[in-house]
Amino acid sequence: MHCADRPSPLPPGTRSFATFSPGAPYARTRLDTLSLPLNEVPALTIAAEPLNWIQIAGVNQDHWTVQFCAEGEGDTIDEANGYLQKVSMQRIGSLLTLNRTDARGLTGGQGHLLLTAPVGAPVTMHSDSAVEVHDMAGPVRISALGRATILNTTGRVDAFAMIVDFAGSQGLVALNASWDIDIKLTATKFRGNLGANAQRQVHALFPPGFQTPVEILVNRPKDFVCRADFCSKFKKDRVNFLYRFTYGDIEGTSDQIGMRSMDAQVVLDTTQ
């Protein structure tokens, strides 16, 4: 967690300096930390107002390690401190709330939460900004107005966000996006069930020689764009008013992948 004021204190003996920043000239920060035993908090829920970014990493430990960097930015030190005082993290039982951020051009307040979680513990997130989760094995539930990035999760995943990025090789995964979904399969077989439904484009990268059955649903045949190495093995039929393209035995196995674009294309590629 990088949580530092701006400008940073100058080294002894420095007589002049120049700073280059896309933000306001002054930033003041506060780092809040918590350690929550797993037997006291078996599952965690996070509710975040806008401009609070959440990152979660699963590790083999018996407690939750929480680091929250509150930051205020302003044209003066007093303005930066004023915004900083409005940014807070509060805990009530198993609920963490990230509150009172504010953005006004280059000034305002924001927060960054870094959570190191017991790898198998359940996590639920309600965020008005961006969420990133990786290396979790327990149930993960995400509702985000920004981007949701889910990497190397192996358990149940339920995610709804504006844009969803997913990379993995197993799990019971349901991805829903009001915009786009990007998927990278990291093994030649996906163990479990992966469903991806986007209002706009679904784009998936498959390793060479991918073997798990795949089902694609689109409005028109031209909405299915396949550049993967197994494209010649797809079969086409109709399901009600939709066109369906299938690879492998969809009916004969529980391990499968389904993708649906409501208004755009489903695009498949093979990783190089």
User: Domain locations in the chain?
Assistant: 1-8+24-132, 162-272
Which uninterrupted H or E stretch holds 77?
helix 77-86
Cα 131 to Cα 154: distance, rounded to the nearest angstrom: 17
Q: Kindly report each contact of residues 249-253 with a partner whose C-beta sits within 8 Å and lies 24 or more positions away, as own/partner.
A: 249/213, 250/213, 250/215, 252/213, 253/212, 253/213
- Strands 191-198, 214-218: parallel, antiparallel or unpaired by DSSP? unpaired
DSSP SS3 for 222: helix
pLDDT at 19 over 80: no
Integer Cα distance of 85 and 184 in angstroms: 41
Q: How confident is residue 105, by pLDDT bands cut at 50, 70 and 90?
A: confident
pLDDT in the model for residue 15: 56
Strand pairing class (181-185; 202-206)? parallel
Nearest Cα neighbor of 96 from 32, 158, 133, 46 is: 46
Q: Average pLDDT of 219-225?
A: 97
Distance CA 58, CA 152 (A): 10
Instruction: Report the pLDDT value the prediction gives residue 12, as an integer from 0 to 100.
Output: 63
> Can you spell out the DSSP letters for 81-92?
HHHHHH-EEEEE
Q: What is the overall mean pLDDT for the chain? A: 93
Mean of pLDDT values over 68-92: 95
Average pLDDT of the segment spanning 126-131: 95
Give me the percent of the chain exceeding a pLDDT of 70.
Answer: 94
Closest CA to 98 of 68, 124, 134: 68
Q: Is the pLDDT of residue 83 over 80?
A: yes
Write the burial class of residue 207 (CB in 10 Å: 0-12 exposed, 13-18 middle, 19+ buried).
middle
Residue 193: CB atoms within 10 A of its CB come to 18
Question: Is the pLDDT at 78 greater than 70, yes or no?
Answer: yes
What's the N-to-C CA distance of the chain in angstroms? 34
- On the question of pLDDT at 171 being above 60, the answer is yes
135 pLDDT more than 90: yes
The phi and psi torsions of 170 (rounded to 5 degrees) equal -165, 165
Residue, of 148 and 25, whose pLDDT is higher: 148
3-state secondary structure string across 238-263: EECCEEEEEECCCCCCCCEEEEEECC
